[in-house]
Amino acid sequence: MGRDALSEKVFSFSDELQRMGCLEDEVPKPNLRNEIHPIFRLDRWMGGYGQPTEEIYPRMKPALRLASLFLTEECTLHWWTHTMLGEEMTAYHDDGSGRTFRYIEANPEEFTPRGRSLARTKLYEMADVIMLMFTPERYKDTRDGKAWGMCSNHSIREFPWAQHFCSRDFPHIPGKYMQDKSRVPEITFSHKFSDFYCNHYTSSSKCQILRVHFMFAMTIMHELAHAFHMFIGKDNGHKEPLHNQFDRYAELGFSWEIGLTGRICNPLFHTLRDVHALFSVRTYTWLPHELEKVAEVQRATRYFRDPESSVRFRAIPIDASLDWVPTHEWRGVQYFNAQQPECPTNYMCIVVGIPMQWVAAWFLEEEWEENRRFWAKHHDDYGSVRRRTLFMGECWSLVYQKDIHGRQSMWVASR
């Protein structure tokens, strides 16, 4: 896989990334104690060809425990209640084009204890039908195999390696669901994960292992978002809707990631082989008269202008002959700018290095206890969903901008 210009530029700041705590740091050991959700039971994973799950399952448990919390905690259930209980609506774009889009409209019941109970119950029901697997090594470079994860519908197609499985390799599915296989989700996870847990786990540092656990948990949840929409029977052969009318792209997996963690994370060079630092990328396009978008960009860059910040913001040379726009291999770029305007526009890309303390905090029982206390104190059942934000602090950042006249510039924020 080629190394794009943006990744190469980020890699050149490895020393600064280390100083900012993005590579190696003193981090606490994961100590989550919760039960693993039935969706992830060992018997929900495929056996047989290219499936080392039974061997690596103990090593996967921190990621599975984190994913289980996202499926069961009161403070993280709203995404699922909204998907299940909200009403899918059609609306017109406000650009006068006459184009329409589909989105999920809020339903008052989704904010109630009953709504959360219904969603939690439906997720437990999905545990009876879901099938999980890893992409076998032989197929890792195929179209399906290159994805971090992929959710399919048992009645639509099977993955190309399905020919190698026999009946005893499949998880049991109750007969009532086999009558409508469109509601039987199959999820495959990248060979990158099984390869790491099999062959690189014991030789990796604590921080490297945590980064893989985090990426695996995010990939699991991303694909479960698609699977849930399929399982509750709302896809009906249509494309997915926007999760809310303010989303820019109809992709429920990325909607979940943004909604629950505030960002879409990538390992550098899009691989787990070297387990380099994690980054999130966000892109913006705007015209001078689009005041709401201008304000959004100003909010995104406000701490660069904060005189009290310990992070220093400096311009760096840029090779104007290179393409600095993130390639499609950066997870999530299409989520932020799905509709590229035809006319020249201002463009900004912000790459943020993820501190290891932030990654480690997701795996700590004491952080989740704080989440529970905050939820108990601040939530209500009348349309307000207040969830404690896991503060990331001042971060290493790289900013690329191209203005409406084609002028390019780049800055880095670091200590």
Range of the domain at 45: 27-245
Question: Is the pLDDT confidence value at 269 over 80?
Answer: yes
414 found inside a domain: no
The predicted-structure confidence for 104-153, as pLDDT tens digits, reads as follows 999 999 999 999 999 999 999 999 999 999 999 999 998 888 899 999 88
Question: Is the pLDDT confidence value at 175 over 80?
Answer: yes
pLDDT of amino acid 83: 96
Specify whether the CB–CB gap between 21 and 356 falls below 8 A: yes
- Which range, 162-166, 338-342, 356-360, has the best average confidence (pLDDT)? 356-360
> Number of folded domains in the chain?
1
268 found inside a domain: no
Q: Rounded to an integer, what distance in angstroms lies between the CA atom of residue 41 and that of residue 388?
A: 29
Count of helices and strands (H, E) across the chain:
13, 11
Is beta strand 312-315 parallel, antiparallel or unpaired with respect to 149-153? unpaired
Q: What is the mean pLDDT of residues 278-290?
A: 86
61 found inside a domain: yes
pLDDT of amino acid 3: 56
pLDDT of amino acid 41: 97
338 found inside a domain: no
The mean of the pLDDT values for the chain is: 88
Q: Rounded to an integer, what distance in angstroms lies between the CA atom of residue 51 and that of residue 393?
A: 39
pLDDT of amino acid 415: 75
Q: Rounded to an integer, what distance in angstroms lies between the CA atom of residue 285 and that of residue 294?
A: 9
The predicted-structure confidence for 71-110, as pLDDT tens digits, reads as follows 999 999 999 999 999 999 988 877 677 888 899 999 999 9
Confidence label for 1 from pLDDT (cuts 50, 70 and 90): very low
* DSSP letters spanning 251-288: -HHHHHHHHHHSS-EEEGGG-SSS---EEEEEEEEE-T
260 found inside a domain: no
pLDDT of amino acid 305: 61
**Can you give the pTM of this predicted structure?**
0.92
53 found inside a domain: yes
The predicted-structure confidence for 58-82, as pLDDT tens digits, reads as follows 999 999 999 999 999 999 999 999 9
Percent of the chain with pLDDT over 70: 91
322 found inside a domain: no
206 found inside a domain: yes
